[in-house]
Structure 1
Amino acid sequence: MTVSTRSATSGTPVPGMFTLVLHTHLPWLAHHGRWPVGEEWLYQSWSACYLPLVRVLRRLAAEDRRNLITLGITPVVAAQLDDPYCLDGMEHWLTNWRLRAAEAAGTRDGDAAPGTASAPEAIRAFGAREYAEAQTELDEFAALWRHGGSPLLRALVDAGTVELLGGPLAHPFQPLLNPRLRDFALREGLADAGARFGHTPTGIWAPECAYAPGMERGYAAAGVGHFMVDGPSLHGDTALGRPVGDTDVVAFGRDLQVSYRVWSPKSGYPGHAAYRDFHTYHHGTGLKPARVTGRNVPSEDKAPYDPERADAAVDTHVADFVDMVRRRLTAESERIGRPAHVVAAFDTELFGHWWYEGPIWLERVLRALPAAGVQVGTLADARAAGYVGTPVELPPSSWGSGKDWQVWSGEQVADLVVLNAEVADTALSAVDKAMEQARSAVPLGAPIPRDPVADQILRETLLTLSSDWPFMVSKDSAADYARYRAHLHAHATREIAGALASGRREVAERLAAGWSRADGLFGALDARRLPPPC
């Protein structure tokens, strides 16, 4: 892409408000494989993205910078960042990273061409830098993260640095979900966030930004006041949030002109020649020592990563982005005749995991925007300040390919659509029967005891219905793993429900306990809160 080199340091105020929204999500990976797909994905993201992002936000919070970003944390990510097994696994992963870096720093042999990223002298220099970075993260993890991610995120919310967005348990594609499960997943997800962070979110990032007409009424009933959609859902006019239907629930749309400046299907800053190349590995250690160099340069010919060159590119892209935001706010405000609101939204994992320099860019952008006369605020700030237009009727939509539902309901995943419907029906029938039996076993008016069997049925059902599995199949990204996971959780649901339905209560309890050892997330999930049948 062509990058503007105009200065972004002008402090002349521009009208309106800018909001940065980050969506943090991975599927449940603990106990379900390590490599090439599984826990490694979690630990890579944690190290490259979540640790640096929290570091950046803590620095900014220490300067009393408030209302900087709207940060979505899905319940399934929050669960993994708090899980003792995952915390131990992360420490082991960081230690292994340090060992691999030490091995690289001592490299003497190799047949790579001189001047390339895999040449021995380049690997030694890169290994020394990686070793120092790994040691820093190990020290930071021991000091700050050993009790999980929730205390750190709660402190950032308490400080007013971030607005947290919540979401439904296990990240289901809501438009295709049975309404009872949709309501249950959302309410339990909001409650999970409230318990972890001490704040129950009033805004959500709907999984995949997916919407079906009428969902706004469920949001309103659950206490959700605003949610994210993609720009085309608002017919391309994202200059203001819009109340949906006859409710007060506001949909905020992602501004694609601004968002695609950073990351798009075909271009964006991370592809710049100076940045670290995500796809090029050093085969001896698994480290990534190359810079992008050029889009058509083979991996073996990539140049060594140069931190100073990358740092200069970050400054260029910060200036370009700030200039873009200023111009967009000015143009949109003039177009609508009132101060406009511009929302840039991204997957959090872009910043550090996919784009190594992303956290540095984020920190500098969040400093540069106010200095350049741009008012920065959260979605909650925008709603409170009146950046809201007239009501709108939203179409069925998502932020996936085609901006419709095809990624999650198309021909490629037709079998998963059928599987999901069948599993949902099985689970609801089993849980309804269990609740009916529990009610009949206690005196009239007495509380029904919690049922770990029914809880685990719903837990496995929601994991089956995760939107990640059809997404990975449609995109042919570890499709075999995705199908395996969907069918594994479906099998768990059927197995426990089948034992319960046939009157083998002890067997059902044993099966539920066994599956819970692998899938024991969302410990507060309570089947008694499942909405009754209509």
Structure 2
Amino acid sequence: MAIGYVALVLHAHLPFVRHPESDYVLEEEWLFEAITETYIPLLHVFDGLKRDGVDFKLTMSMTPPLVSMLRDPLLQERYDEHLSKLEELIEKEIEHNEHNGHIRYLAEFYASEFSKVRETWEQYDGDLVTAFKQYLDSNNLEIITCGATHGYLPLMKMYPQAVWAQIQVACEHYEETFGRPAKGIWLPECAYYEGLERMLADAGLRYFLTDGHGILYARPRPRFGTYAPIFTETGVAAFGRDHESSQQVWSSEVGYPGAAEYREFYKDLGWEADYEYIKPYIMPNGQRKNIGIKYHKITGRGLGLGDKALYDPYWAREKTAEHAANFMFNRERQAEHLHYIMQRPPIIVSPYDAELFGHWWYEGPWFIDYLFRKSWYDQGTYEMTHLADYLRNNSTQQVCRPSQSSWGYKGFHEYWLNETNAWIYPHLHKAAERMIELGSLEPADELEWRALNQAARELLLAQSSDWAFIMRTGTMVPYAVRRTRSHLMRFDKLYYDIKMGKIDSGWLEKVQKIDNIFPSINYRVYRPL
């Protein structure tokens, strides 16, 4: 009989990036890369586990922006074209490397992988949300929600209606998508502030995730640390991240993804190939970019890209089996130790960004596959669970008040409020004030109704924490700045047009087509609570 639980939690999220006004925008490929390298490979893992009788349990957020993009016909069409170009290029690579044995072997490997992706894409007619939903329906997968646009909630807490809109719009979108209410929420950036749990309870949510110190510094101090959830005074449960298991995967120093056998992310055919040869597959302006075809392995720490050896997926897969066995062994010992101390079964919660598995760590889906299989067949110390099942079977927990917290640098909001991005918040706060004001209006006609709803969309899109995150990391900063400014400018125009009673119907129609997230939104979500 198992004496503990392990809960793997994946956070599947991308910012809402959709540009029907342009033929090509590089940032749309964030979604395309994730579909090819993360989402469809995860479906392949789930399909294989189900086929082989492994009753796996996994918690996974699917954020509203991601779901909206996955179901958008324009982006589905563009992804199909993106995949076709990959398939075309890899066939050329097979022919081009006819006399280069190892590269040809790798090209044939990629051709096989792209073929499997194509088969799954066509099996579901491009609707991957339906593909994931089948595992929600079988109770193998617990899909949870997030903020409507991943807004950073502690930095808008002075406007409760703005926080409520992020939560309520997300919950309504989840129910429209999956046909049932959401039970849990991945708080954007795992950022919590005291009092947030009341809104979560009012929205019908049962639990949320926070970083470990959000539980460890709770009041009173939780008896079992992060190895049992705590109940807030509203009855909403909080699960804390386990540092030990997270470090084994996340850490750049000791984490699994840094192994020499694994694929090197930063050495890509888009930068390596002859320019004229690769030109049809890079950006229309002729600028090179990552293609997603990579022929080299990490090889060793401290090596330059020119010193990388060729990759071999056979040995990389063998390494994932070794790492999955090591992860399982460590969780067994951890569960045994904790059970002895706690005198009750601990739960070890291991949350990660989903895109780590496949996109950043190419072998990540293989690791997940091996981990579930080994946990099912090779041990009896712990049981793999998802968070909803755990709460259903463990309904008595200590009542505490979690600590304000986030994940990321220093764990208390600094990554999302610093010298690189502080300028956005006065503008977001002013827009929130104005949206709350608009929330009390009654529309004079259908045009004003549409304008009020679009104003709500623009504010939500401007609030995405992804833009502040990108500004802090220093990558793609001009795009993040442009997106923040464009949504705020559109909001301001809508606000003044509504106040003056002179709505530009042609401009509104254009903006509605571009920023078409949440078609069922009701601006009244911003009315005083």
Alignment match, 2:221: none
Counterpart pick for 1:366 among 354, 369, 372: 372
Q: What is the distance in 1 between the residues matched to 2:515 and 2:53?
A: 39
Q: CA deviation at 1:489?
A: 0.9
The one of 186, 205, 209 equivalent to 2:186 is 205
**CA deviations over 1:405-448 (Å, ceiling 9, x no partner):** 1111223221011221122223333343xx3344xx7xxxxxx9
Aligned partner of residue 343 in structure 1, secondary structure: strand
| Contact 1:154 1:198 (8 Å CA) reproduced | no
Aligned counterpart, 2:45: 56
CA 108–532 in structure 1, closer or farther in 2 if over 3 Å, else same: closer
Distance 1:450 1:437 in 2: 5
User: Aligned-pair distance for 1:360?
Assistant: 1.1
Instruction: Tell me if structure 2 keeps the 8 A contact 1:241–1:387.
Output: no
Q: Which residue in 2 is equivalent to 1:101?
A: 90
Kept in 2: contact 1:79–1:521 (CA 8 A):
yes
Contact 2:69–2:75 (8 Å) recurs in 1: yes
2:317 alignment partner AA:
D
Q: 1:64 to 1:308 in 2, by over 3 A?
A: closer
Shift of 1:480: 2.0
- Look up the equivalent residue of 1:21 and give its one-letter code: V
Determine helix, strand or coil for the equivalent of 1:77.
Answer: helix
Cα distance in 1 for residues equivalent to 2:79 and 2:136: 24
Question: 2:148 is matched with which residue?
Answer: 169
1:82 aligns with: 71
* Counterpart amino acid of residue 87 in structure 2: R
Structure 1 segment 276-287 matched on structure 2, within 5 A: 276-282=263-269, 283-284=272-273, 285=278, 286=291, 287=293
Matched, 1:412 2:412: no
Quote the residue 1:29 is aligned against.
17
Aligned mate of 1:153, from 113, 132, 151 = 132
Selected match of 1:231 from 212, 222, 245: 212
Whether the aligned pair in 1 keeps the contact of 2:252 and 2:258 (CA below 8 Å) is: no
- In structure 1, what is the Cα distance between the partners aligned to 2:330 and 2:369? 17
Q: Equivalents in 1 of 2:366, 2:448: separation in Å?
A: 47
Q: Is the 8 A contact 2:49 2:56 kept in 1?
A: no
**Deviates further, 37-46 or 281-290:** 281-290
In the TM superposition, 1:120-131 aligns within 5 A as 120-131=100-111
Q: Which of 9, 15, 18 is matched with 2:6 structurally?
A: 18
SS at match of 2:351: strand
The CA distance in 2 between the partners of 1:466 and 1:45, in whole Å, is 19
Alignment CA distance shift 1:488-1:120 (3 Å): farther
**Shift of residue 490, structure 1, vs aligned partner:** 0.9
The amino acid that maps onto 1:395 is: S
Q: Where does structure 1 lack aligned partners over 5 or more consecutive residues?
A: 1-12, 110-118, 442-447
* Alpha-carbon distance in 2 for matches of 1:453, 1:266: 50
Change (3 A) 1:34 1:131: farther
User: Residues of 1 paired with 2:443 and 2:513: CA distance?
Assistant: 26
| Aligned counterpart, 2:473 | 475
Normalising by the residue count of structure 2, what TM-score does the alignment of the two structures yield? 0.89
Residues 144 and 248 of structure 1, relative CA distance in 2, 3 Å threshold: same
Q: Of 243, 249, 255, which aligns to 1:262?
A: 249
Query: 2: CA distance between counterparts of 1:295 and 1:99?
Result: 34
TM-score of the two chains, using structure 1 as the length reference: 0.89
Q: Which amino acid aligns with 2:515?
A: D
> Partner of 1:290 in structure 2?
296
Aligned to 2:162: 181
The yes-or-no answer on 1:40 pairing with 2:29 is yes
Specify the alignment match of 2:407 in structure 1.
Answer: 399
Matches of 1:512 and 1:463, distance apart in 2: 16
Summarize deviations over 1:487-518 as a string: whole Å, max 9, x none: 1111111122222222213x1x3322111211
| CA-CA distance at 1:265 after TM superposition | 4.7
Alignment of 1:442-461 (within 5 A): 451-461=449-459
The change in CA–CA distance for 1:145 and 1:344 in structure 2 (over 3 A counts) is: farther
Q: Structure 2 CA distance, aligned partners of 1:192 and 1:363? A: 30
Distance 2:78 2:65 in 1: 17
Matched residue SS, 2:10: strand
- Aligned 8 A contact 1:398 1:405 in 2: yes
Comparing 363-372 with 317-326, greater Cα deviation is found at 363-372
Question: Aligned partners of 1:388, 1:410: CA distance in 2, in Å?
Answer: 40
Aligned to 1:515: 511
- What is the CA-CA distance between 1:337 and the residue it aligns to? 2.4
Q: Contact 1:194–1:201 at 8 Å: present in 2 too?
A: yes
The 8 Å contact of residues 169 and 189 in structure 1, kept in 2 or not, is answered as yes
- Paired residue for 1:275? 262
Is the 1:67–1:378 Cα contact (8 Å) retained in structure 2? no
Q: Deviations over 1:263-321 (max 9, x none)?
A: 12533111100011111112225321111111222212211111121121011101100
Instruction: Verify: 1:222 aligned to 2:203, yes or no.
Output: yes
CA distance change for structure 1 residues 254 and 30 in 2, over 3 Å: closer, same or farther? same
- C-alpha contact 2:227 2:348 (8 A) present in aligned 1: yes
SS in 1 for 2:61: strand
Give the letter for the 2:451 counterpart.
V
- CA–CA distance in 2 between the matches of 1:34 and 1:393? 50
Q: Distance in 2 between matches of 1:458 and 1:160?
A: 34
The equivalent position to 2:306 in structure 1, one of 287, 300, 305, is: 300
Q: CA 1:522–1:360 in 2, change beyond 3 Å: closer, same or farther?
A: same
Q: CA deviation at 1:223?
A: 0.5
Deviation at 1:233, TM superposition (A): 1.1
In the other structure, the counterpart of 1:144 is 124
The aligned runs of 1:498-513 (5 Å cut-off) are 498-505=496-503, 507=504, 509-513=505-509
Indicate the SS of the match to 2:475.
coil
**Pair 1:17–1:140, CA change in 2 (3 A):** same
Kept in 2: contact 1:460–1:489 (CA 8 A): yes
Task: Confirm whether residue 355 of structure 1 aligns to residue 342 of structure 2.
Answer: no
Pair 1:192 & 2:173 matched: yes
- 2:231 is matched with which residue: 223, 228, 243? 243
- Secondary structure of 1:477's counterpart equals coil
C-alpha displacement at 1:81, in angstroms? 0.8
Once the 2 structures are TM-superposed, how far is the Cα of residue 22 of structure 1 from its aligned partner? 0.6
Counterpart residue number, 1:525: 521
Q: What is the alpha-carbon distance in structure 2 between the residues aligned to residue 364 and residue 305 of structure 1?
A: 20
SS at match of 1:483: helix
Q: Which amino acid aligns with 2:481?
A: R
Which one-letter code corresponds to 1:453 in the other structure? A
The alpha carbon displacement at 1:531 in A equals 4.2
One-letter code aligned to 1:138: R
The answer to whether the 8 Å contact 1:24/1:347 transfers is: yes
Does 1:69 find its partner at 2:58? yes
SS at match of 1:375: strand
Amino acid at match of 2:316: A
Shift of 1:159: 1.0
SS in 2 for 1:328: helix
